[in-house]
Structure 1
C-alpha cells in the first residue's frame, strides 16, 4: 500500500486561526526532503515559510495561492512514487478536512501560557514541548510572541520556555530600577520555581544582555548561550532614538514606523503587529517600565560590567546582522576565542524575518 501523508496549515502562535497561501516553493512531481521549504504562508502576524517535517514526492497541491485556510486544513499531499490518483483521492476522502493542530502531539507538548508568582511579581510564561530546556528571552518592548515560529519548531526537540520579561507582555510592570540584574533575577526565580537547570538560553537584543547577566550570576541555570542581535557585545551600541520612539509612540502610524526599523523588509510589519504593540503601550505602567529600562540601557554601566566579564561566559553562539539598525553588530575580532558566529541577511528580528534559516541554525548548534 502506498505511503500517503497530508501537509496541513500549521499553527504558528497561540492566536493563529488561519493562514493565506502566498506561494508554493515546490510543485507537483518535486521530491521533497525533510527540512526543505515547501510553501510561503501569511498570517495576521507575519509571513513565514513552512518546512517539510517528512520526505516524499509532492503529488497534489490542495491550497491554492491566495486562498485563506483554517489551521489544520490539508494544503498538499506527499506520497511515494507508486501512489495512484485513485489512492490519493481515497486518502483525501478519508481524511478530516480540518484537524486540531495539537491533536497528534504528545500530552503536554502543545503551547500553554501561565502566570508564576515570583517574589510577589507575576511573570507570564509560555511553554511547549518536553526534554532538554531551551529558554527564550525576548527584546525591548517585546513578549513571548516574538518567538512564535521558534517555539513551534523547537518544541519537537526540547522543553521550550519563553517568559515575558518584567515590564513586558502580560508580566507585572514593576521593574524596580530597570537594571539587567533586576530582570535577570526575575528570570532566575522563574526557572528555579519551574525546577529548570542547565538550560540553553537564547536571548534577543535586551534579552541577550539579560541572558549574559543570568549566566554570570546563576551558572547552574545556564548550559550555554545563543545571543541574537544582542546588546552589550563588543562593538554594539543600542539606539537611544529607537528606545525613545517606542516609549513616545502614541498612534498606529508611530508604532508602525518604529517596527519597520526592526526589519530589513519593512513590508513584513503587519497591522496585527502594530495593534499588539499599541495595546501593550496603553497598559498601565508599560511606558514607565520601558523608561526605567531605557535609562539603564542608555547609561551603559550594566553593559560595561558585562563586557568586563565576557570571558567568564559559558559556550556562546552569536547570531548577528550587519543590517541591524537597533544595536549594530558585534566586532567579531573582539569576541572571545571559541565563540561561534553566524551572520544572517536580516534586520534586527531574524527569528521572525527568516524563521526557517534561524531555526536551522539553532537546531544545528544544539545538536553539537
Structure 2
C-alpha cells in the first residue's frame, strides 16, 4: 500500500467516547490541507468540536458523510499527493473503511490512589516512565476536561490526569478548602507513582495548584505550563464562581458554562447534564464553596507571578483573549517577565478551544529536559 496515503480517523476524546457524529465537513475533495487546519466538526455525547488535520496533503476522498455516526477509529477521509492513483485510493479505502472500536479496556487507565485518607482518581497512560506530563483541571472540572489533549500527549510521554479533591471521582473532602489540601493530593500522586521529573500542566485553579506544587518541590519539575492560571495576576471572576455553585437547573447551568467559551454553542445538553449530575453528588457544593472562599482567595494563591519569577524550570503561560472567568493580565511588565501567549478568539477553556496549538506547545516542553 502506498506509504504516502494518510488517513483521517474518528478521534477519541476522553476515555468514555466510543463513537462520534460527523456534523459538517469544512473542506472539500481536492483541497490542499495543512497541519492544524480545521477540516470537520464532530459531535460526541459531551461536546461538539472541530477536528484539525495532523498531516499535510490533498483531500482525495471524503469517506464519511455528514450526519453519519461512526465508531472511534473509523476512516473518515484520505489525504494523498496528486501523484497517487485513484485506484490506490480505492484500495486503501476498501481495506480500511471498517475499523473496530478500540476495546482494550476503557477503564484500564483509571485508578485510585489514597492520599492522607482521601481518594484521588487518576487516568494514567503512556508507559511506566518516572517522567510524565501531569494534567490538573480547574474549578468544577475533572480529568475529562483534557479529552482533546490526553491521548495526543500520551503518544509522546507518560501522561497522567487527576481529579482534584472535591471533583470528579475523587473524595469530596477538601478539608477547610485551603490550597494546601489540593497541593497535598498532587504531591501524593507524584510520590505514589514514583515520578522523578514532572511536566506540570494546569488550567485555572489547577494552574494555581500546579504552580504552588512546583514552588514547593522544584527539584521534580521539568517544566510548568499554565492555562489561564488563577492567582497569577488577574482575580477570578467571583460572580462566575457564585453562579456555578448556585446553578441547579439546565437553563441556568448552560448560561454559566457558556461563559467558559468564546463560542457558547459548544455547550451541549449532555455537557450541561454531566455538570449538573456532578453537582448533585453529596458534598460537592459544600466543597466548591470552601474552595472558592479559601483556596482561590488565600494569600498563597495571590501574587504567583512574583513567586514564579525566579523558578529554575521553564514556564509557559497561555490565555484566551476572550476569557470571561480570568481575563489576561493587563500589565506590560508581566508580559516582559514571562513567556505569555494570548490566543485570539478563545475563551477560558482554551485547551479545548485551541487543542492542537496547545498540544504542540506542551510537547515542546519535553525538549527542556
TM-score (norm. length: structure 2) = 0.90
- CA distance in 2 between counterparts of 1:331 and 1:315 reads 22
Matched, 1:204 2:203: yes
Q: Which residue of 1 aligns with 2:343?
A: 344
Is residue 2:128 matched to residue 1:128? Answer: no
Change in 2 beyond 3 A, CA 1:344/1:54: closer
Distance in 1 between the 2:296 and 2:165 partners? Answer: 18
Q: What's the offset of the Cα at 1:196? A: 1.1
Give me the CA root mean square deviation. 2.5
Contact 1:111/1:129 (CA < 8 Å) preserved in 2? no
The aligned counterpart of 1:277 is: 275
Structure-2 change in CA distance of 1:113 and 1:330 (3 Å)? same
Deviations 1:149-192, CA, capped at 9 Å, x for gaps: 01122112211111000111000011112111111111011111
Cα distance change on mapping 1:324 and 1:35 into 2, 3 Å: closer
| Distance in 2 (alpha carbons) for counterparts of 1:59 and 1:279 | 43
Deviation at 1:124, TM superposition (A): 0.4
Instruction: Trace 1:1-368 onto structure 2 (pairs within 5 A).
Output: 2-3=2-3, 4-95=5-96, 97-101=98-102, 112-130=109-127, 132-234=131-233, 236-297=234-295, 299-304=297-302, 306=304, 308-313=306-311, 314-335=313-334, 339-345=338-344, 346-367=346-367
Give yes or no for contact 1:11–1:101 (8 Å, CA) kept in 2: no
Deviation at 1:100, TM superposition (A): 2.9
Bigger drift between 242-251 and 55-64 goes to 55-64
Alpha-carbon separation, structure 1, partners of 2:194 and 2:331? 35
Contact conserved, 2:262 with 2:347, CA < 8 A, in 1?
yes
| Distance change (3 Å), C-alpha of 1:243 and 1:83 | same
Distance 2:296 2:201 in 1: 23
**1:162 aligned counterpart, secondary structure:** strand
- Per-residue CA deviations over 1:36-56 (Å, capped at 9, x if unaligned) read 443332222223332334444
Unaligned runs of at least 5 residues, structure 2: none
Using the TM superposition, give the Cα deviation of residue 113 of structure 1 relative to its aligned residue in structure 2, in angstroms: 1.2
Question: Cα distance, 1:272 vs. partner?
Answer: 1.3
CA distance change for structure 1 residues 215 and 109 in 2, over 3 Å: closer, same or farther?
farther
Report which stretch shifted further, 135-144 or 146-155.
146-155
Give the Cα separation in 2 of the matches to 1:37 and 1:152: 19
Q: In the TM superposition, what whole-angstrom CA distance separates every residue of 1:21-76 from its partner, at most 9, and x where no partner exists?
A: 23334332334455544333222222333233444432211112222222222111
Counterpart-to-counterpart distance in 2, 1:298 and 1:189: 21
Q: What is the SS of the residue equivalent to 2:341?
A: strand
The count of corresponding residues between Structure 1 and Structure 2 is 363
**How does the TM-score come out when normalised to structure 1?**
0.90
Q: 1:89, 1:179 → 2: CA distance?
A: 60
Structure 1 residue 224 displacement after superposition: 1.7
Distance 1:2 1:260 in 2: 45
Provide the rounded CA distance (Å) in 2 between the counterparts of 1:110 and 1:72.
18
The Cα shift of 1:82 comes to: 3.8
Q: Distance in 1 between matches of 2:86 and 2:138?
A: 49
